[in-house]
Amino acid sequence: MVFNTGAALLDAIVLAVVSKEKEGTYGYKITQDVRQAIEVSESTLYPVLRRLQKDGCLEVYDMECGGRNRRYYKITDSGSAQLDLYRTEWETYSSKITMLFSGGELA
Partner 1 sequence: MRKEEFMRQLETLLADISEEERQEALAYYRSYFEDAGEENEERILRELESPEKVAATIKADLKVDSRKDAGAFTERGYEDERFTKSSQDLEIKEKPSQKKGWSGSDADENRTLKIALIVVIAAVTSPIWLSLLAGIASFIVGAAGLAFGFIAAAIGLYIAGGVLFGIGIGQFAVGSVAVGFGLVGAAMFVWAVAILITVLSVWLCGKGIPWLCRGVESLWKKVFPGKEKAI
Instruction: List interacting residues with partner 1 (CB under 8 A).
Output: 1-2, 4-8, 10-11, 26-29, 31, 38-44, 46-47, 49-51, 68-71
Q: In whole angstroms, how close is the CB of 101 to partner 1 at the nearest point? A: 19
Q: Considering only CA atoms, which of 78, 79, 94 is closest in space to residue 12?
A: 79
Rounded CA gap, 22 and 72, in Å? 11
* Closest separation in Å from C-beta 81 to partner 1: 17
Cα–Cα distance for residue pair 13/25, rounded to 1 Å: 14
Q: Which CB, 69 or 92, lies closer to partner 1?
A: 69
Query: Which C-beta is closer to partner 1: that of 6 or that of 104?
Result: 6
| 71 closest CA partner among 41, 44, 45, 95 | 45
